Structure 1
């Protein structure tokens, strides 16, 4: 039983340290829902709930840059393809269609 309590205390300590280091990495204007100092006190005083709350509600959301997807145009909608096709047909059939 004592080993379980020690394990839980070590997990709590690890979670608090990770949350503190993570909170220290960000500038105050990047942090959500509360000032930086409030998060530090919450992480330290409300262990482990403050650390969990930091990861759920305080940590900044990473910015995701979306790359534009290439637009696929079907061959029959592509004017360049149609011009090339008409030129190729004229080259291969100089009589005009018969």
Structure 2
């Protein structure tokens, strides 16, 4: 089994580079036309030169871990998203965002035995 591992890794890298090249928009491809990159990946895939050259030099990469400046916004978890947290404060059907949940005073409630619960005026 171990003797097949290098071949399988080379094949997996070639397939990954090929699909990555096909899915990359034309304006993000550097140096050569996209069709030429596909041919290079397929011709030199067995010796790993084609896929490695594509991954290193053929595609524009975003700069840094923060992503591209001015690019699409990154996904934000709901508990970190201020717009989502504001929407929790809105009453259903209230588009102004002024109504808040839980701000109404408690109503007088009677329990099943008929005893009145709530504010008492003694």
TM-score, normalization by structure 2: 0.48
Which protein has the bigger helix share?
1
CA deviation profile, 1:8-46 (whole Å, cap 9, x unmatched): 110000000100111111122220011101110111110
| Runs of 4+ that moved beyond 4 A | none
Q: Distance in 2 between matches of 1:3 and 1:35?
A: 37
The structure whose RCO (Cα within 8 Å, separation 6+) is larger is 1
User: Unaligned stretches of 5+ in structure 1?
Assistant: 67-98
Q: Distance in 1 between matches of 2:60 and 2:14?
A: 17
**Which residue of the partner structure matches residue 44 of structure 1?**
42
**Which residue of the partner structure matches residue 18 of structure 1?**
16
Superposition pairs of residues 8-87 of structure 1, within 5 angstroms: 8-47=6-45, 48-62=48-62, 64-65=68-69
User: Unaligned stretches of 5+ in structure 2?
Assistant: 71-122
Q: Distance in 2 between matches of 1:51 and 1:8?
A: 15
| CA RMSD between the two structures | 1.8
TM-score, normalization by structure 1: 0.59
Q: Distance in 2 between matches of 1:32 and 1:13?
A: 24
**1:60 Cα offset (Å):** 1.6
